[in-house]
Structure 1
Amino acid sequence: MSNPANRIKAMFTGNLRYLTIYACLALLTVVFSQLKSMTMFKGIEVLLICMVGAIIATSKDRESSAITFTTGVFWIYTLSVFSALIELAVFGSAQHKQLVGATPLLATQMESSYPPMVGNGLGFLGALTALFGLYRFDMPQARNRTKAIALIILAAGAVILFLSYTRSVLLFFIVSVLIIAAYEKRTIRIGVILITVISLLAAPGIQDKVIDHLRRGATDEQITSLSSRTQFWDTILKRDPVQLMVGEGFATGTLFQDYQSRGTHKVFTSRNAHNSVLEIIMSSGFIGAAIWLTIIIRIGLQMVKIRRKLRSMKEWGRLHFHHFMMGVFVLSALRSIMNSTFVYVDYFFFV
């Protein structure tokens, strides 16, 4: 069988099978979409991920190719975000530099730059960067130079995470680090993290500063995020049965018009959902949500099986990288409960 034929076959096996079906479903929803070009873009984007995954799956050294691809995407994305930050700081208008309450520059909305990102996105990037730095620092037989660079990466990620004022991601980052430490049996690190967190909660002076930091300023009340979420959920779940099954065909980040509201029409964006499953129901219906949940559950179970296999083979270097990927997966899965779909790490888990 020729190589292209092998790659096409790989797109319909394992996790890629479900992702390919998801991509085809996204493309089919163009029929129902009011923003057809955006829906086409999202469907083609996922289909391209499937193609790249198939190329990796049929390569001679699949795991090495996957690690190279994952690392490359991570650095390309990280560099693009930092370049966008520099662009915003140097060329951004006063409107784009407007802060959310009294928060630092990193919590601003970067709607005019690529990738479009708010404080939550920057916090998530900071958490990913910190996890990557931690992974490099703990690499078996790592040189002192590697450890020093890793500490710089870890510190940069932690600073971005803290200054983004992203409360949920900060909590999920701590959980991810604890899980990685537990898998690698680093009891001292677990103890230090727990003691630090408990101390912050127990010390009155520090406690006030932490609470003030996490409140994100007095203007947080003006965001009315909770009301917009509940309105969005209510609107989505009141659609007719066909729309609930196949979705509206909108891509992530595009507008959703509530034609059933009384008086003036209410316009939502998928960000109002703050829940991955509801966003997918909006775009691809319950069919798409079922496929997406199947993918996530399969990946979680497979990661546990792969870890057991690597431990039995005593492949400590590969096991260490796998623990990093498990940490990223846990961070992303937890974040998806309270925020957008895996739009920031679409490429990580399907190779």
Structure 2
Amino acid sequence: MDFELSSEQSMLKDGVDRFMAQRYSQDARGRFMAEPEGWSRDNWRQFADMGLLGVGFDEALGGFGGSMVDTMIVTEAFGQGLVVEPYIGSAVLAGGILRHSEFAGREDIVADFVQGARILALAHEEEGARYLLSHVSTTARQVGDRYVLDGRKVNVIAGDSADILFVTARVSGSVRDEKGISIFAVPKDHPGVTIEPYLGIDGSRHAAITFAAAEIPATAVIGQPGHGFAIVERAIGDGIAAVCGEAVGLMDAMLKTVVEYLKTRNQFGGPLGRFQALQHRAADMYVATEQARSMAIYAAMMTSDANDLERRRAMSFAKVQIGKSLHFVGQQAVQLSGGIGVTDEYIVGQQFKRSTALERQFGDVDHHLSLIDHLDRRR
């Protein structure tokens, strides 16, 4: 595989890096998180102006025809700056539902989203699922030309900000069956929908969403009724690849911060960086980051693989390496920074919280090792 960036991708990287340098200082991030939605609408409009919201969509849908590698370039830069805007939740996860399905009105939704006029969210995860994608207990009961939704979703990224929720609900089968899952496009202010926003461990905005006898027209079904799992699985695969990119950017930032600290922190008669044992630990952080970088690029390239089994194995292999690297780099960054490494006032403390969240998003190391074993037995 060719891991070199094209000239267009290099231009994209330079543009996003420049935006981050201009807009995302630590103080600015704090101001963005203090806004009513927990992130900046002005930044989101600038994402639209830069074309970042359209990177993952085909030109036929009004996007720019970029690949998941292009998306990874964006999320890696966002990882370095600890971006709080819901790019992965809206552009990648909810956007993945649009990319991997066909339904009436899709083009209009994409056009509005790419221009920054709409926020989208995927409402799929449920309590007790333990990362199992097919775990859907929310039900959709058909009554005439309508469906009645009942259930509860959790960890919905920017669920309180989204204009449209893509909601998974079961029309048949048992709670963990892959068959029988449908996807519905539901306006967030629809009757019977209750949204409870809350903060994650890293300060990012999430929501729990309850559906109580919410009547949805049959025209809101995305794709074929009962066949939504494959669409969700592809969207989550895109999300894993994007998170891997963000994690690499985050580890890069932690490494740079720690190296600078070791160079400037004077103790025991000189800078800490002169101690060989600390140099070795920083070198180990670099190796772990580069191992993760290779797997992140591999995951991004494999998102378009037509072989479902191989694609899912690739996402799990990447998530295992990313999880291990994040765990190691995060712990080393805190320890090498001393007592201030666990404080919110120091950037490493905020980075460590984000690394802890990313390590578990879409499944932790143990889950993906188990999934690899399961997939290998199917080969």
| TM-score (ref. length: structure 2) | 0.29
Q: Which has the higher helix share?
A: 1
Q: Which has the higher strand share?
A: 2
- Larger RCO (CA within 8 A; separation ≥ 6): 1
| TM-score (ref. length: structure 1) | 0.30
